Each structure stands twice: as C-alpha cells, then as structure tokens.
Amino acid sequence: MGERGEKVKGRVLLLGGPTATGKSALAVELAMALGGEVVNADSLLLYRHLDIGTAKPSREERKGVAHHLIDILDLHQEFDAYRYAREASRIIEEIWARGHLPIVVGGTGFYMKALYHGLPPRVGKDPRFRQRLLEEEERSPGTLHARLRGIDPQAASRIHPRDRVRMVRALEIHHMTGRPPSVVWKEEKPPLKGSFLKIALYLPRQELYARTNARVIDMVHRGLVEETRRVLEMGYPPHLKPLQSIGYREAVLYLQGRISQGEMVSQIQRKTRNYAKRQMTWFKKEAFLWFLPQSREILEKVARWIEGKD
C-alpha cells in the first residue's frame, strides 16, 4: 500500500455545503493533489438521464479522477440513507484498500451524516397507516402533533406541528415498534469506523444567490426543458420523486402549459435559493468547518490532517 496509503487508511474527507459553491470542481482538484477518489453524496446524481438539471459533472469535468455512486439508478428506483450508508461504506473500504483517500462530496447532508453518525435501526413502513394519518390531519389539522405529544413529548418537541412528513414517520415508528420514536432514534450506529474531516464551502450570501440565479439560466440555455421532455417521452411519469425535484418539477409544469417560461425560471431560482439557505443551516448545525471555495487553506488543512498534525 505504501506510506501514503497507510496514512489515508481510515480517513474520510467530507466536502459539503450549499448548491452552486463549486464542490464538484474542488473535489476533483483535491483528488488529483492528494491521490483521492470521489464518492458522490448528492441524491439526484445517483439517477441516470438527469444531467443538466442536477449540474452533474461530465466525464470531461471528472478529469480522470475515479467517481463513484453516479448514474447507478433508474428513475423509478428508490434509494435512501440506509442504502447509501451501506453502498458508500463498501466503496470507501475499497478505496482505502487501493491506498487512496475517499472524498465524499455533495449537498445531501443526511447521506453524509449516515456515514459518520449512523442511523437508527431500520423500521418498516405501513402505507395504509400513513394514509389514515394524513386523512386525519386533513380533516382536523393539529391531530398528528397532539397524538405525538401523547406518545412521545420529546419527539413532539423536535418536530414542527406543520411538518407532516416527520410527524407521520414518528407515529409510524411507534406503530411498527411499540416504542417511542425518540428512543428508537437514539439507537444509532455508524456503519463505518474512521476519522472524518468535515469541510463545507460557503460564499457571501449575495454572491451565492447571484451564482444560483445564473446557474438556473445556464441550465435552461443548455436544454433543461429538452432534457425533461426527453425523459417524459421515454415513458417516465412526472410524479416520480426525481422528477419532483427542483428544476424538473417546474420544467414539467412548463411543458404541460401550466406556467410560462419566465415563471419556470423565477420559480426554480427562488426554490434553489431557499434550498441553499436550508443547506447552510444544516451544515452549520453539524459543525462542518467553513472555507471559501478557492481557498488554498483547504488543501493545507487536509494535508495536515492526513499527516496527523491537525
């Protein structure tokens, strides 16, 4: 394996942050400088056929650096943090065996957290039970949160009364296990033993928003609508989860004649800005170290960490 391989074994670099900060390009630069391989942690890059609207790096942009977990799913296939943790852990072990540094890059923070923090035991789903809960909430708003407070006040305090998705999942966990969801959530176990360096990229807010706005316009010019039309013509229905993501959902509405092109662009820009804001909040809560994208400090920080000096 060599001295370098021994030093990187057991180490994982996480490169996160909001959209449009240049994570993919920086990951390639770091991989070339440090002898690394890139492991995708963006949920949409897993899917084939969605290239423009996901800002998926092209083969040319990958510049000969090995990339993993890109274009591995068809649009109708489901994927979650449990499967991500399993697949990414296996790949990281293989990268270590080659004497290389795994660089996990993307904006889906929950996937990253599944690696370094772990996930609670996997609890199954009951679609009929879920549907009943949603119908109850529709008839009488506030019902779900009140029920959750009665079962698990701790869980209820962590979930906003209007967050139906999380309330339903919490009640479903209790329904399936007979235990308070807050107790189940504490039984987390990391799937991977390693040393994690958590770095996130940031830009001043106005620059970030200007960059996200410009990226949306570029996507439209490069053929976002045509890409969406092509996917629909392949027989994929618009209700599939990947096609409900920011950009594709609005392109579908435009193709259906429900919004104008101008409305499509402005909606994508607004939703992308809001998404970037949520990403900033998430990565801050997870105590990532923040750097400007072009900062040489990142390479120096990672090099010191590999040498065990930081």
**What is the per-residue DSSP string for 134-199?**
HHHHHHSTTHHHHHHHHH-HHHHHHS-TT-HHHHHHHHHHHHHHSS-HHHHHT--B-SS-SEEEEE
Domain residues of the chain, as ranges?
2-118+194-203+280-306, 127-185, 206-278
Position 189 scores a pLDDT of: 74
List of residues 6+ apart from 78 with CB closer than 8 A: 241
Check if the beta carbon of residue 266 is closer than 8 Å to that of residue 213: no
206-278 belongs to which CATH class?
mainly alpha
Nearest to 286 by CA among 121, 117, 160, 154: 117
The sign of the dihedral angle between the CA atoms of 152, 154, 159, 160 is: positive
2-118+194-203+280-306 belongs to which CATH class?
alpha beta
The sign of the dihedral angle between the CA atoms of 255, 74, 93, 101 is: negative
Between CA 13 and CA 5 the distance in angstroms is 14
Burial class (CB within 10 angstroms; exposed 0-12, middle 13-18, buried 19+) of 257: exposed
Query: Domain 127-185 maps to which CATH number in 1.10.20.140, 3.40.50.720, 3.40.30.10, 1.10.101.10?
Result: 1.10.20.140
Position 1 scores a pLDDT of: 65
Sheet holding 195-201, edge to edge: 67-68, 36-40, 101-105, 11-16, 195-201, 289-291
Nearest to 273 by CA among 291, 247, 235: 247
Position 129 scores a pLDDT of: 96
The H or E element containing residue 106 is none
CA 91 distance to own-chain centroid: 17
Provide the token pair at 125: 């789903």
The C-alpha torsion from 87 through 43 and 61 to 277, rounded to 10°, is -130
Q: 119: which DSSP letter?
A: B
Position 61 scores a pLDDT of: 86
Provide the token pair at 132: 């009943």
Q: Could you tell me the pTM of the whole model?
A: 0.85
The H or E element containing residue 80 is none
Nearest to 31 by CA among 55, 9, 63: 63
Nearest to 64 by CA among 36, 91, 40, 43: 36
pLDDT, block means (10 residues), the chain with 310 residues: 84 97 95 96 97 94 92 96 94 97 96 91 90 94 96 94 91 95 84 92 96 97 98 97 97 98 98 95 96 91 91
- 209 forms beta bridges with none
User: For tokens 């090099």, what's the residue?
Assistant: 303
Q: 73: which DSSP letter?
A: B
Position 202 scores a pLDDT of: 95
Helices (H), the chain: 2-8, 23-34, 59-62, 81-97, 109-116, 127-139, 143-151, 153-158, 164-177, 181-185, 205-222, 224-233, 248-255, 261-285, 297-306
